[in-house]
A and B are shown apart, each in its own frame.
Chain A
């Protein structure tokens, strides 16, 4: 067990060492790559001055609200598509089509419709995450075991009871997989929208601003903080997932 923990850190450590050598020996110009120690000090400065806290909170707020809206809309649509063949055939093409458009290509459209405030950022996030949730919830129903439904039908379970007692719990592991992908994507979309749709706060905003004025250490520091945030969200979600859909793969 202890040995495995060492393996967990060994590659990141090697990367940091290479980074330190490349930057400290100026093999790569400081205009493009700061030293790890400078980035580390910058992270401490950003937190001790408190100026990054607002950015983190705004980014998290947009990510979670967008994700939440995506869940509220996407999961029921996906379940209905999975359950009713007619709804599936009616919406399949539309969903597949919109899924093929990169969400970022819809930027201008969303700015037109929702303005340049938070609502366009959140709406675009909900859009992208919602499509993923629709697909995964639908597959969750489709991948359910025939025999489980047949077995329920021998007990005359039908209609909403069949859905509530058999189909929905059966789809839950797949819905959670979708939620995990969707929340990571939500963060991606929020960061990108913060870079290109006007705002005063947000990690994406800070990254692009730092780059524009060549505060390279601050840019790297914010990128790292964003990465750690994404990592923690993902790990946290896996923990919740394991608790709720404990039967997955068993």
Chain B
């Protein structure tokens, strides 16, 4: 098992009233296999982002344990892709420079660094833009750069927090394909947060359906669509069946 989450709960005390406690995550247990692509699907504000924060080690759980490749979250490497690429990436650096950051922090320099950057950029079709500054790109290309940076960091697990939700429909599907393309080559255990059920089914091996806050696991739906996936999957019968199964689970006992 790549990731083992056991009885994970998270409570926040309100800044104004310390006694009032806000429960965000409620007793979440989940096992994720090495190289699995998991999507979390749940309502807005249910605590999905808190879950990723805890997995990446920047936030701590109130109770429960998490092991990532047998290590604690703060000892493992998480490649994090945020929804707001404009505020998470570096506008003063070029595309190449942004990806380079993830390699600099690992002490990778020189030709080795250049090879990794060139390989990733060629893979996603951004190589010819590598010397452009970050702000010169379109939204989709910016997020693609963020994904490349996360892969360049060579993480134990990849965390994506609604990465495509500020992009338009067709761009976000295209970016989904690009993501699957890099992921196929370098199967990182991936956790993908989404509030778009189509996107979740299209990308993932399993979709974890979460309840309203405090988030509990309502159920886990396996996606049996074959890989590699192409856009025509979106109109297949299996796709609709899986999608409807998730939505029924989501609506159930609301």
Contact = CB atoms under 8 A, between A and B. Distances in A.
Co-assembled chains A and B: yes
Contacts of B79: 154
Interface of B: 56-58, 77-80, 82, 84, 87-92, 101-102, 104-105, 133-135, 153
Contacts of B89: 148, 151
A157 B102 CA distance: 9
A155 B92 contact: no
A5 interface: no
A215 interface: no
Contact of B88 (A151, A157, A172): A151
Interface string A188-217: 000000000000000000000000000000
Nearest to B80: A154
B248 to A, nearest CB: 35
B105 A148 contact: no
12 contacts: A145-B87, A147-B84, A151-B89, A153-B58, A156-B77, A157-B101, A157-B105, A161-B105, A169-B90, A247-B91, A247-B134, A250-B135
Contacts of B77: 156
Contact of A148 (B78, B80, B90, B104): B90
A150 B80 CA distance: 10
Contacts, number: 50
Main secondary structure on chain A at its contact with chain B? helix
B105 A246 contact: no
Nearest to A169: B92
A45 interface: no
A246 B93 CA distance: 10
A165 interface: yes
A116 interface: no
A146 B53 CA distance: 14
Given A148-B90, A151-B82, A154-B78, A246 B133 contact: yes
A109 to B, nearest CB: 41
A187 B101 CA distance: 40
A250 to B, nearest CB: 4
Contacts of A157: 101, 105
B92 A156 contact: no
Given A172-B92, A250-B135, 6 more contacts: A147-B87, A150-B88, A151-B82, A154-B57, A165-B101, A247-B134
Contacts of A150: 58, 88
A64 to B, nearest CB: 27
B190 to A, nearest CB: 15
A164 to B, nearest CB: 10
Contact of A155 (B82, B84, B101, B134): B101
Contacts of A145: 87
Contacts of A46: none
Interface in A148-191: 148, 150-157, 161, 165-166, 169, 172
Given A154-B56, A155-B153, A246-B133, A147 B105 contact: no
B90 A156 contact: no
A156 B80 contact: no
Interface string A18-35: 000000000000000000
A178 to B, nearest CB: 18
By CB atoms of chain A within 10 A, which of B77, B88, B89, B135 has the most?
Answer: B88
Contacts of B135: 247, 250
A250 B58 contact: no
B169 to A, nearest CB: 25
Contacts of A153: 58
